Structure 1
Amino acid sequence: MPQTDPSYARLPARFFARVAPVAVADPQLLALNLPLAEALGIDPVWLAGAEGVSMLAGNTLPGWATPIAQAYAGHQFGSFVPQLGDGRALLLAEILAPGGGRFDLVLKGSGQTPFSRRGDGRAWLGPVLREYLVSEAMAALGVPTTRALAAVATGEVVWREEGALPGAILARVAASHIRVGTFEYFAARRDTKALALLAEHTRARHFPLADGALGLLASAVAAQARLVSDWMSFGFIHGVMNTDNMAVSGETIDYGPCAFIDAYHPDRVFSSIDRHGRYAYAQQPNVALWNLAQLASALLPLIGEGEAGVEAASAALDGFWPALSAAWSARFAAKIGLASARTGDHALIETLLARMARQGSDFTRVFHGLADGSARDEFADRAAFDAWAVDWHARLSHEQDPQAVMRAANPARIPRNHRIAEVIAAAVTGEMAPFARLHAALSVPYEERPEWADLSDAPAADEAVTRTYCGT
């Protein structure tokens, strides 16, 4: 059994609610991440057996589990909600992995908690499989992310606008589930003592070299700048970047109405609840900085609320754009084969993106096609690509092995919306083979595999998914 240490559960009672998961009727294992289980020190044979599945469903708890629902607040689409919290999730345990590191094990969809706000505390199969696929794909792409340990069918139905849907639970693993909204929760209550405890807990857990609350803020700024640049480089749109969905650790968390771009445009929006484009693809850096400003505001009682404190916090926030720009430039330079930096590289990248936007070119297929010469086929007006390629080829002449650089930076496959929709539709009927195939293909996104060639295709007009839903 894994080694555990419930450090968050040792914080004062106002940080969480102690609550057990609600048992389900007929738990059945749908998917299990064997390598992750082994890395956490959990016996995969036990986990796949009756006792393990019962735990993953919340029906029984091992002695090392200390289930709690964490309290937090959050800005949702810019409006502050002073109390949110884990309304359908429980932090089951903090696991000390044999190879090092501390990880939260959370059950998502495990029933009502004191923070459920009239919700049923459950999840249906579609969002569970979506998060499993996308979070594991992100890990394979090299993007900091929460991980999926298992998906379990509950044998019960949940009711949503669409009607009765099959219920499921996701077992999620994260460096922690401490959010910007967690700090806002205590700042809104002027609970400086709790705020100080939270800041020190977070600093020690994620940024042990940081100096106090100001160092914590600066570290979070740097982590978010790197994360968002990663998102942008793969055409990922989080879809609901509320402050309660931003992990201070710098991991991607809460895959609700997320999506990867097919036809590129910087203003692309998929989330059905983002009616005004607040969280559009190109807006993500601005929103990340806005969220970090809310973190800075929450931390001001610890940094210093006078003019000196505001100036110090502002200086930390000022580090975001240089860090984002450097990370973005490095990511996109690699995508076009550049391992070194020269004047004009940024303009070269921006010109390509602008032409892709005008043509509605497929984001992933263009960049992946640069290495094998097929990128121009993604442009309805080939001349638009050819004109750009003159300058690009001239720039590549100064690089030693641009093909290798591009192959390492550009995946052949991403979790396309229409493929995920196909998987979910099949799973609702009890057919999990499409899930297994897509998951296998996404686990090695940079490998060229002919048996998965269709999974690299852009959607046909009648396959395109233009709206994604959070599933709550």
Structure 2
Amino acid sequence: MTVHFQSDYAAALPDLCLDWTSADCPDPRILKYNEALGGLLGMDRPEARLLSGHDLPPGTRPVAQAYAGHQFGGFSPRLGDGRALLLGEVRGTDGALRDVALKGSGATPFSRGADGRAALGPVLREYLMGEAMAALNIPTTRALAALTTGEDVWREEGALPGAILVRVAASHLRVGTFQYAAAQGDLEQVRRLADYAIARHYPDLAGDYAGFFAAVAGRQARLIAQWMLVGFVHGVMNTDNMTISGQTIDYGPCAFMEAYAPGTVFSSIDRQGRYAYGNQPLILGWNLARLAETLLPLIDADEGRAVERATRILEGVAGQYQDAWLEGMRSKLGLDGTDPGDRDLAEAFLVGIEGADWTLCFRRLSRAIDDPSALRVLLAGADRLDDWLPRWRARLARDAAQRMEAANPLYIPRNERVEEALAAAHEGDMGPFDALLAAVSAPFHERGGLEKYALPASEGFGTYRTFCGT
């Protein structure tokens, strides 16, 4: 069937984007295509040329989106799509409108001297992480395809295979989009952006800008709680990487924590630990405060009243996050109903497993209902949870074991397996990547032959560092 890209964003917000085209690539080839996602979009497998931004259907209007952002706390008033391109929107078979965008499609006016290209490794990392998160039922952008371009890109480590990611999102509206519009000093532009975002994501809130801010805050609070529950570390929670839709976006230096430690950092550029695992709920509030600043004139013409209303919403974010986190912890611990002592019970468990494997501790906890040794072996034989176990058993649901296995994944993109898969892909062998993708695409269902995907990194793997690079 013919692909039809709408141009809703470009038509509604022409001052927040630039018409642009993908740079040519000599030999685009589809390396991975997401058949399930393509079916949801009503798209048969398109040609590689189209997916690389060429030979587009008549009427398609690709644009580079403008946005600003606080990066590690410092404000940059003009960032934008430096290596990305929004091809347009597609109405799916479920009636939902979704963005289809490219990453690695060449330089744009927002590239700030960079080449706008992407290497194969980061493209495959984003494909893998997005699918893993989707399988974990965490709101996320997803990859429709990964393509090789037929040319190399040059990075510090030398020549690397060039690639393009085709990303699908509820939209690419970010906190940074609002910061960019506000920085122009044009209140009507901010209003048009807010009206567009409301119509797209919160249609019941037309004209209610305080309600819109509260809705975004609620979705983001639930999202970060879900990250924390599975041990996910985003690595670069800048305001330009926080979506208005509440989806996870931009899988750059991200990774899943293995040994539980609140200070876990993977990103090579996060030298101060700003975006450490345990800091993510704090950054949630900080980023939302930046969004609030852009919306104040819309919330109320009286600045004092606007600040008061926005502050009340912000003050409720921590509680929303804690409620979502505790609800998730009850599921992970197999608790029956609710009890005032549940938070203390959950926090005491975390103290008991510090330094042990996060994913396996939760996954094997169901076995500890009858056999504490199943958990103790992960704690190097320590008895630090022996006093906790009787308290926990007294709170268990009747079908606790089944509930817990449905809430606690066994297979996540473990760091050593990810690096093995990416290294093999660079050598032209997609087998390890495909096997890992298959494992994490059904994370809760234990299967024979996949034991290595459930194990922590080997002792020789060393300290893990990730890098921005898509």
TM-score (ref. length: structure 1)? 0.96
Letter in 2 for 1:27: P
Deviations 1:448-470 (A, max 9, x none): 11121111011111124521111
**Is it true that 1:133 corresponds to 2:152 in the alignment?**
no
Q: Secondary structure at the match of 2:145?
A: strand
**Is it true that 1:223 corresponds to 2:224 in the alignment?**
no
**Which structure 2 segments of 5+ residues have no match?**
369-373
**Is it true that 1:201 corresponds to 2:202 in the alignment?**
no
> How far does residue 389 in structure 1 lie from its aligned partner after superposition?
1.3
Verify the 8 A CA contact 1:2 1:96 in the aligned structure 2.
no
Deviations 1:110-133 (A, max 9, x none): 001110000100110111000000
For the residues of structure 1 that align with 2:380 and 2:79, how far apart are their CA atoms? 47
Task: Report what 1:334 is aligned to.
Answer: 331
For the residues of structure 1 that align with 2:78 and 2:285, how far apart are their CA atoms? 22
Task: Report what 2:376 is aligned to.
Answer: 376
Task: Report what 1:403 is aligned to.
Answer: 401
For the residues of structure 2 that align with 1:33 and 1:291, how far apart are their CA atoms? 32
1:61 to 45, 56, 65: 56
Task: Report what 2:391 is aligned to.
Answer: 391
For the residues of structure 2 that align with 1:99 and 1:139, how far apart are their CA atoms? 17
Larger deviation: 417-426 or 300-309?
Answer: 300-309
Verify the 8 A CA contact 2:3 2:57 in the aligned structure 1.
no
2:230 to 234, 238, 246: 234
Letter in 1 for 2:148: A
Deviations 1:414-455 (A, max 9, x none): 011111110110011000011111111111000011121111
The percent of aligned pairs where both chains have the same amino acid is 50
Letter in 2 for 1:236: F
**Is it true that 1:459 corresponds to 2:457 in the alignment?**
yes
**Paired residues for 1:258-277 under 5 Å:** 258-277=254-273
Q: Secondary structure at the match of 2:163?
A: strand
Shift of the 148–12 alpha-carbon distance from structure 1 to 2, 3 Å rule, reads closer
Task: Report what 1:469 is aligned to.
Answer: 467
**Is it true that 1:311 corresponds to 2:308 in the alignment?**
yes
Deviations 1:37-84 (A, max 9, x none): 01101013xx2xxxx111112232222532100000000000000000
Shift of the 155–348 alpha-carbon distance from structure 1 to 2, 3 Å rule, reads same
Letter in 2 for 1:318: E
Shift of the 18–249 alpha-carbon distance from structure 1 to 2, 3 Å rule, reads same
Letter in 1 for 2:213: L
**Paired residues for 1:87-236 under 5 Å:** 87-210=82-205, 211-236=207-232
Q: Secondary structure at the match of 2:264?
A: coil
For the residues of structure 1 that align with 2:95 and 2:196, how far apart are their CA atoms? 18
Letter in 1 for 2:271: R
Shift of the 89–339 alpha-carbon distance from structure 1 to 2, 3 Å rule, reads farther
2:317 to 282, 302, 320: 320
Q: Secondary structure at the match of 1:343?
A: coil
Task: Report what 2:371 is aligned to.
Answer: none
Verify the 8 A CA contact 1:230 1:331 in the aligned structure 2.
yes
Deviations 1:241-292 (A, max 9, x none): 0000001110000000001001000111111111001001111011011000
> How far does residue 24 in structure 1 lie from its aligned partner after superposition?
0.6
Task: Report what 1:253 is aligned to.
Answer: 249
Q: Secondary structure at the match of 1:250?
A: coil
Task: Report what 2:78 is aligned to.
Answer: 83
Larger deviation: 288-297 or 1-10?
Answer: 1-10
Shift of the 55–2 alpha-carbon distance from structure 1 to 2, 3 Å rule, reads closer
Larger deviation: 434-443 or 173-182?
Answer: 434-443
Task: Report what 2:444 is aligned to.
Answer: 446
Verify the 8 A CA contact 2:67 2:78 in the aligned structure 1.
yes
Larger deviation: 19-28 or 386-395?
Answer: 386-395
Shift of the 244–266 alpha-carbon distance from structure 1 to 2, 3 Å rule, reads same
Verify the 8 A CA contact 2:182 2:190 in the aligned structure 1.
yes
**Paired residues for 1:29-40 under 5 Å:** 29-40=30-41
Letter in 2 for 1:436: D
> How far does residue 98 in structure 1 lie from its aligned partner after superposition?
1.7
Task: Report what 2:348 is aligned to.
Answer: 351
Verify the 8 A CA contact 2:13 2:193 in the aligned structure 1.
no
Verify the 8 A CA contact 1:2 1:40 in the aligned structure 2.
no
**Which structure 1 segments of 5+ residues have no match?**
none
For the residues of structure 1 that align with 2:208 and 2:19, how far apart are their CA atoms? 29
Letter in 2 for 1:438: L
For the residues of structure 2 that align with 1:176 and 1:39, how far apart are their CA atoms? 16
For the residues of structure 2 that align with 1:339 and 1:87, how far apart are their CA atoms? 49
For the residues of structure 1 that align with 2:451 and 2:385, how far apart are their CA atoms? 24
Q: Across the two proteins, how many residue pairs are aligned to each other?
A: 462
What do you get for the CA RMSD once the two structures are aligned? 1.2
Letter in 1 for 2:337: S
Q: Secondary structure at the match of 1:371?
A: helix
2:65 to 45, 49, 70: 70
For the residues of structure 2 that align with 1:212 and 1:2, how far apart are their CA atoms? 35
Larger deviation: 3-12 or 79-88?
Answer: 3-12
Q: Secondary structure at the match of 1:367?
A: helix
Letter in 1 for 2:235: G
